[in-house]
Structure 1
Amino acid sequence: MVVNVHSRSGGKAYTYALERLRELGVPVGATYPLHDPSRLVETVESAAASGHDLIIVGGGDGSVSSVVDCLAHRDVPLGLLPLGTANDFARTMHIPEDLDGACRTLRDAHIVDVDLGLCGDNYYVNRASVGIGAEVAQAMSPRLKRFLGPLAYPVGTAKAFLKHRPFAAKLHFPDGDHEDREYDKLLQVSVANGRYFGGGQVAASDSGIDDNALDITVLRQGSIRQLAGVVRGLKTGEPNDQIEQFRTRAVEVGTDEPQPINIDGEVVSSTPQTFEVARNALHVVTPRTWTDGEAPE
């Protein structure tokens, strides 16, 4: 079990989860309460290479996305204790946000295979974005998330919107399933692998994390009133005049000037970049009732 105790609720959660898992009969062989988040990847890589048959990670979407590079296409499943601000991956996988429910899910050990997104050489679980999403990630400091919790998202979005400059982009679909597209004055291009992102927004009304596809959303720059309608639509995945959507297995995104790319809350790359779906690349412990594409109860 590897827990980012530097996260918003990590310290208390680590102690509770360890005791609860032992009560439930889960044989936790080694534990790593990390005060330095930068050691998360090396710790998970070491644990996976040491022959452990399950890696339990306690953290948020950024923590999950950072370690899937270690676990992609390996036989070691990922178990999750949702300790982040948004917990969109946990929501996609129907993993309870309360620690007792998450621990019981780990005890039951129902393992499924799900897709990952691939941005260049970087795997991700939820979504990659160019434009306002990357600017929101840069505005969302750890301190802001620690003190505001879920409210950090609207605050970070407002800060990013005030600084945003519209950009031009070109989309090329190497599989030939869509015609190439060119746009100017964009707010964002996002490439979603999972169903949820940004604190419960929906990539598309029928999106899923195990459909062998990525959901592309192109968001045009608009007035405050138009964008308010977009925000409402993103909660349900319904279409909007400011939005154009595509479903594909691969897309190449180029921009008029290099733009940073946000992957699950962390800026890790820049355009131009190729995005692909990595089919059944990650083993995840989920509730036995999990069905891809269905909203959690």
Structure 2
Amino acid sequence: MKILALLNQDGGTLKTLDLDWLAALIRDEFQVHGHEITVERCKGKAIVDTIRSASERTDIDVLMVGGGDGTVSAAAMALTGKSIALAILPAGTMNLFARTLQIPLDLTEAIAALASGQVLAVDVGTVNGEPFVHQFAVGLHARMVRMREGLTYRSRIGKIIASSRAVFLALKQLPSVELVIEIDGAQQRISSPAVAISNNLYGEGHVPYADDPRGGVLGVYICRVKAPRAVMKLTFDILRGSWRQNPHLEVLTAHKVAFEYNGRHHDKRAVRDGELTRLEPSMLVEIKPQALNVLVPAEASYLVPASEPTVALAK
């Protein structure tokens, strides 16, 4: 296969890596498996435009991106519905979509797993037609990200510390979002500190990410309590994967979720894949089954049984 690897030199852990060493490792590993690969570096300010240009090319089979979670989300948005497959080098803070795909978080191991991997079509969610691979959320998560943006950090550890501070600051003054929400045709009016919708249902026993990238459903999570201590406990239960046991979280699955929001504030009131976005008066969230081609490890546990057809990584 013909592969283009784009390394965001300002993104995630790549800022502190020897990119000459990383590029050589990528080339060597993929060439050993018989693939043609070109490795290019890109500054953070140009990465989105570079990804969009690459997604229009007709001479590559796979676009590999290395950088933070924002880089991965931008690539998924550009490649949804196209034949080019997305390959992820997990160099972000959380690497949640990479975890869903069972890509090793160690870069050396990830490169080896992808070089011998296979292409698979997986689900994406959309918000008013805009794709996301992890989560769309309103309320507490959006406030936390806004507060984190006001804090200074220069490293992965610094971002984790800033995120922790932002969580506590947001919990001290909880938002309350008034929504009319329609889930697969059933409408209800809610007032909640936090509502989130995930691309496939979160797994249990770990940080929030889906275990099956082809489950074909949205996960819907509604916080049903407003007491700060109870919301704080729920937040930590979600982070450690024990949300099923918390009575204050309503969990549903759906194929389509519609929002109506009549609040005064719209700008930066929602989060899509970790990035602040506008909360529109009307929003439609849908699951798009198998709309994104991705390169995944051949050993991933969610792959179909050997008796069923798969798309092997051609050489």
Which TM bucket (shorter chain)? 0.7 to 0.9
* 1:76 counterpart residue number: 84
* 2:313 counterpart residue number: none
The answer to whether residue 231 in structure 2 is matched with residue 227 in structure 1 is yes
Shift of 1:196: 5.5
Flag structure 2 segments of 5+ consecutive residues without an equivalent.
304-315
* Pick aligned residue for 2:126 from 118, 121, 128: 118
The answer to whether residue 139 in structure 2 is matched with residue 131 in structure 1 is yes
Partners of 2:87 and 2:294 within 8 A in 1: yes
Distance change in 2, residues 1:14/1:28 (3 Å):
farther
Shift of 1:31: 3.0
Instruction: In structure 2, give the amino acid aligned to 1:46.
Output: S
Partners of 2:96 and 2:209 within 8 A in 1: no
* 1:181 counterpart residue number: 188
- Mapping of residues 78-93 of structure 1, within 5 Å: 78-93=86-101
* 1:97 counterpart residue number: 105
Between the two proteins, what is the percent identity of the paired residues?
21
After superposition, give the CA deviation of every residue in 1:137-175 in whole Å (9 maximum; x if it has no partner): 2223384362514333322212333344312122113x4
Instruction: In structure 1, give the amino acid aligned to 2:114.
Output: L
SS in 2 for 1:230: helix
Shift of 1:4: 1.4
Distance change in 2, residues 1:242/1:54 (3 Å):
same
SS in 2 for 1:31: strand
* Pick aligned residue for 1:55 from 50, 63, 69: 63
Distance change in 2, residues 1:232/1:25 (3 Å):
closer
Partners of 2:222 and 2:251 within 8 A in 1: yes
Shift of 1:54: 1.0
SS in 2 for 1:282: strand
Distance change in 2, residues 1:93/1:13 (3 Å):
farther
* 2:295 counterpart residue number: 285
The answer to whether residue 32 in structure 2 is matched with residue 22 in structure 1 is no
* Pick aligned residue for 1:4 from 1, 5, 8: 8
The answer to whether residue 273 in structure 2 is matched with residue 264 in structure 1 is yes
* 2:177 counterpart residue number: 167
SS in 1 for 2:167: helix
Flag structure 1 segments of 5+ consecutive residues without an equivalent.
none
CA distance in 1, matches of 2:224, 2:262: 15
* 2:307 counterpart residue number: none
How many residue pairs match? The answer is 284
CA distance in 2, matches of 1:82, 1:13: 16
Instruction: In structure 1, give the amino acid aligned to 2:249.
Output: I
CA distance in 2, matches of 1:243, 1:111: 35
Larger Cα Rg: Structure 1 or Structure 2? 2
Shift of 1:110: 1.6
After superposition, give the CA deviation of every residue in 1:166-201 in whole Å (9 maximum; x if it has no partner): 12122113x43xx212112x111101005569xx53
Partners of 1:2 and 1:34 within 8 A in 2: yes
CA distance in 1, matches of 2:283, 2:154: 29
After superposition, give the CA deviation of every residue in 1:219-249 in whole Å (9 maximum; x if it has no partner): 1343233124313431224142221121001
SS in 2 for 1:267: strand
Q: After the TM superposition, which segments of 4 or more aligned residues of structure 1 sit over 4 Å from their partners?
A: 194-197
SS in 1 for 2:299: coil
Distance change in 2, residues 1:21/1:215 (3 Å):
same
Q: TM-score, normalised by structure 2?
A: 0.82
